[in-house]
Amino acid sequence: MRITAIHPLIVWVGTRNQTLVKVETDSGLYGWGEAGLSSRERAVTAAIEHFREFLIGRDPMRAGALWQEMYRSQYFEGGRVLTAAISAIDIALHDIRGKALGVPVYQLLGGKHRDRVPTFATTGEEMIEQAKMLMSLGWDCIRFIPAGQRAGNNLFEPRASLAETAPWMARAREALGSTVTLGIDYHHRLSVAEAASFCQRLPPATLDWLEEPIRDETPSAYEALRRMTPIPFAIGEEFSSKWQFLPYIERDLTQYARVDICNVGGFTEAMKVAGWCEAHYVDLMPHNPLGPICTAATIHLAAAVANFAYAEVRTTPAERGIVDHDSAEIFPLRPTLDGAVYTVPDGPGLGIEVDEDLARRDPFRSSESPHLRRADGSHTNW
């Protein structure tokens, strides 16, 4: 069996672009993958086209060797654009391998540890009633979004946000009780001092995890923050290799690994990160904000690792009509929630199909994440 074609495809689904790739073979089998790096999709498809030049004619069953060749075939190794492209191709190759062998992808990774994949849901600021609704539907892990960055307003003041958010997080814990797992995602918008101040304003046992409070380029900054708070950290959704995870795992700086299979390098790299995390008693809490292909890949990853907590899901009733990345028309075969969990599929490959004709009717749209500013006019992090 040989690779005969690689087609990158940017599709507008709901409220954002999705970067898909289809890898075809001379046997008639094909595989689907998805890349992360949202809002820079054209850069990723260009990288996929570079890789395509030497992947045509190669054996798709040698996914690990092809990963190494894609990663090491240029002087400038790695980087988020290249590993997002590698991720999409690697996921598609695993889809092909599963179909060729007649087994689900998780069987290629050692078999499944669980039959169901628990998820966490996301709700907005001051949405205690919404959280209660999610709990009534089966969710026992809920993530909040902090105050301060509202739709249509690109102003974000960190100190004002934490002053408003800390009291209502305390009220949320009191209202929702002690059995639900609660987290909050600050999307790396705080400094070390601001993040420490936020944590110190919270009563003990308010939060079960704090996600991405500061940027990740400097691990020593997280070391400083760790000394100032006992709250567990959830870090890693932007990481594009095992090497980026290295200091955070080895220095015990993350308690949940937010690995993104569409950014880190696909199954080949994600399984290495998972093994490393297991040695340090760190559970995976995969980042999954993209489309159904990312969700399918995340489910197979979650099934195949021992150290797993929750998968992110953005198709809950709390976000319906706000976050719309899941199309039954474009993806006629895709994962769907069973209450608050995904049932691990038993069919060959990923268990995903794409209506290409329909997908091509709504191609790439220019789209930017919010460009946030502070009150003084300076730029800050999205």
Listed in sequence order, the DSSP H helices in the chain are: 41-55, 63-72, 80-101, 105-108, 128-136, 158-176, 192-200, 219-228, 242-250, 266-279, 292-304, 356-359
What residues act catalytically?
Answer: 187, 287
Phi–psi pair at 106, nearest 5 degrees: -60, -25
> Which residues lie across from 284 on neighbouring strands?
257, 308
Cα–Cα dist 287/122, whole Å: 12
Three-state secondary structure string covering 101-125: HCCEHHHHCCCCCCCEEEEEEEECC
DSSP conformational letter for 203:
P
Instruction: Find the radius of gyration of the CA atoms of the chain.
Output: 20
Q: At what angle do helices 219-228 and 242-250 cross, to 10 degrees?
A: 30
User: CA-CA-CA-CA torsion for 247, 249, 255, 260, nearest 10 degrees?
Assistant: 90
SS3 283: strand
Buried b (16+ CB within 10 A) or exposed e, 168-195: bbeebbeebeeebebbbbbbbbbebebb
C-alpha separations of 142 from 61, 129, 159, 368 in Å: 39, 12, 24, 27
